Structure 1
Amino acid sequence: MIANEYINRAIDYILDHINENISVDDIASHCNFSKYYFSRMFKIETGESIHEFIKRVKMEQSAFRIKIEKGRSITDIGCDYGFSSSNYSSAFKQHHKLSPIQFRRCIKQKSLLNPVFRNSIGLESFEECDKKISIEILEDFLVIYERHKGTYRNLSEHWGVFQEKNKDYITDKTLLLERTYDDPSITKIEECLYDICITVPEGCTLENTYVLKGGKFAIYHFKGLVNQIYSSFQNIFNVWLPQSNFEIDNRYGFEIYRKIDCDSMFMEIDLCIPIK
């Protein structure tokens, strides 16, 4: 768990400005710390230096764009993240061990292996996937959150501890949400970043709160077992988005837990993908 408020503030700043040429100085200044002190603090808390984190996020988010925006040129995508054509190809290959062109050719096949449960998956047709998706406008959510970096294998345990810790804020109107920042077919599973959240009423004064922005979303209405969630995301990313008339925007997606059977692990979850 990443519990340090200032580190989370820095991560939020990086994620919100990842398309810009941000520096360690910018981030330390944003958090009101000296560059050298804050750099040490960030490395201790996350296991990565600020520079390494920024570079990795740029490489993985741009790879995600290559995956879902099949009609866009690799040069344009790299440019979005501040790279020239030659610099982007070199940096991409160093990080992913493939050139951007090779990555685009093989990412769909790579996506068919669930890195959490180590099983192969199949993809739905566009028509099958489209039947499960609705386009909706969601309100903002005020939430208490807890940020984690690492495998999703311990997610149910994290949820149990988080709910017990915040039980005084849970009512029959509380929603359980999970904000995800990475596609685990691209990001190493031990480096995936996610927030577990519960909604709270306006006026909550806890420090670990933020407003999870609403807006326009494509919502995949998932019904199934926990080990099938990954394949539903891959249906959205590999099948629905490339063939639909919609484009994902720069917000991060999240999930709303509607029903959970803890014995069978059958779930009903809204997978909310932000679109323009």
Structure 2
Amino acid sequence: MTIDWSLGAFYAAGRCVYGLVQVFPSTPFPCIDSVRQRFYNKRILNTAKNWRTMDRKNLVNQSIDYIMGHLDEDLSLDRLAAHVYISKFHFSRIFKEETGESVYAFIKRCKVDQSAVDLKLNPTKAITDIGLDYGYSASNYSTVFKERHHTSPTGYKQSIPAHSMPVPFTPERTARFKTAEEYAARIEIQEFPDIFVIYERFIGSYVDIETHWYQFFDQYKAFLREETVLIERFFNDPAITNASQCICDLCLTAEPDCSLDHVMRIRGGKWIVYHYDGEIKDIFETLQGIFNIWLPQSGYHMARRYGLNLYRRIDRGNHSVVMDLCIPIS
């Protein structure tokens, strides 16, 4: 018999088997001799005990990643709980405590918000088809969209700004877009390898990113090297999602064998890379221009439901940065 003792498989087995041990404490495991069984049970139970006190954010982060990667599928509480190997009741409680939203409300919100992104990026695609992509009939889609965004999908599509828009964090400012040709002049298509990172996730306004970065540096300063790249992975368009509900991962590059809990692999592939050199306050304007003007006309399609900001230089004194704004494409 071959047992996979890799960490991921071990945690998965620990969560699952611990539940069985609790329900059937006197039931022997079949097909394992007594010595191996005792050794196996001891390791599983030790892992399960660690898991019970381990970082609950890790578990919720895994479930959020799964949700964001499967928004165009039928996502149920049972399916998500099975993905992280715990009971749906326990998972539901942890998720609500960590995010402030029920699993159902979170999924519904993300589906509707992502459909709004699709309306922006796919101007020629029928609204009914976009609704169907997320499991909604034409009438249901209009209802849930209006509940969330206070306008119909048709009204939203007609209101997508083509020249300028207010900045949601500072309404007194107006973001003014360039032409598609001007954006194209600073964009390259690049192939990225897989990137391994140490990360912390926060849910809240992107305005608070600076504060979160300082906390992140304090926590992981021992892992900063000269070659370290700082990365933001953002899941939401702040022009669509409420400021308090935006998801962002703060990351620093790490070795694949890093032993910390909060380590993940960002898949490589083909990305558009916009080389940004300017003030921090103008990043929103640039990204909105890329999403509203350049990308819908480019012939490319956004391949995943997140983008990356890779920091190349930071000038705190002048509140400016050199960075690559990256969007995965197909």
The one-letter amino acid of 1:135's match is: I
Q: Deviations over 1:6-48 (max 9, x none)?
A: 1111111111111100101111121222212221111111010
Shift, 1:111, TM fit: 6.7
What is the match of residue 249 of structure 1?
A: 303
In structure 2, how many angstroms separate the alpha carbons of the residues matched to 1:190 and 1:111? Answer: 23
Q: What is the TM-score when the length of structure 1 is the normalising length?
A: 0.96
Which has the bigger relative contact order, CA under 8 A and spacing at least 6?
Answer: 1
Indicate which of 84, 107, 117 corresponds to 2:160.
Answer: 107
Question: What secondary structure, in the 3-state scheme, does the structure 2 residue paired with 1:249 have?
Answer: coil
The within-5 A match list for 1:79-228 is 79-108=132-161, 112-118=165-171, 119-228=173-282
In structure 1, how many angstroms separate the alpha carbons of the residues matched to 2:56 and 2:86? Answer: 17
What is the match of residue 52 of structure 2?
A: none
- Is the counterpart of residue 5 in structure 1 residue 63 in structure 2? no
RMSD of aligned Cα (Å) = 1.5
In structure 2, how many angstroms separate the alpha carbons of the residues matched to 1:148 and 1:200? Answer: 20
In structure 2, how many angstroms separate the alpha carbons of the residues matched to 1:233 and 1:3? Answer: 32
Over the matched positions of the two proteins, sequence identity in percent amounts to 41
Structure 1 spans left out of the alignment, 5+ residues: none
In structure 2, how many angstroms separate the alpha carbons of the residues matched to 1:216 and 1:245? Answer: 14
What is the match of residue 118 of structure 2?
A: 65
Shift, 1:205, TM fit: 1.1
The one-letter amino acid of 2:295's match is: L
The one-letter amino acid of 1:77's match is: I
What is the match of residue 127 of structure 2?
A: 74
Count residues in correspondence.
275
Q: Deviations over 1:45-76 (max 9, x none)?
A: 10100000000000000110001110111111
Question: What secondary structure, in the 3-state scheme, does the structure 1 residue paired with 2:151 have?
Answer: coil
Indicate how the Cα distance of structure 1 residues 179 and 227 shifts in structure 2: closer, same or farther if over 3 A, else same: same
Q: What is the TM-score when the length of structure 2 is the normalising length?
A: 0.81
The one-letter amino acid of 1:10's match is: S
Shift, 1:107, TM fit: 2.4
Shift, 1:3, TM fit: 6.2
Quick check: 2:128–2:138 contact (8 Å CA) kept in 1?
yes
Structure 2 spans left out of the alignment, 5+ residues: 1-54
What is the match of residue 86 of structure 2?
A: 33
In structure 1, how many angstroms separate the alpha carbons of the residues matched to 2:133 and 2:291? Answer: 20
Quick check: 1:176–1:199 contact (8 Å CA) kept in 2?
yes
In structure 1, how many angstroms separate the alpha carbons of the residues matched to 2:138 and 2:260? Answer: 45
The one-letter amino acid of 2:308's match is: F
Q: Deviations over 1:181-213 (max 9, x none)?
A: 000000011110000000011211111011011
In structure 2, how many angstroms separate the alpha carbons of the residues matched to 1:162 and 1:156? Answer: 10
Quick check: 1:221–1:268 contact (8 Å CA) kept in 2?
yes
In structure 1, how many angstroms separate the alpha carbons of the residues matched to 2:311 and 2:175? Answer: 22
Shift, 1:110, TM fit: 10
The one-letter amino acid of 1:225's match is: E
Indicate how the Cα distance of structure 1 residues 249 and 200 shifts in structure 2: closer, same or farther if over 3 A, else same: same
Question: What secondary structure, in the 3-state scheme, does the structure 2 residue paired with 1:205 have?
Answer: coil
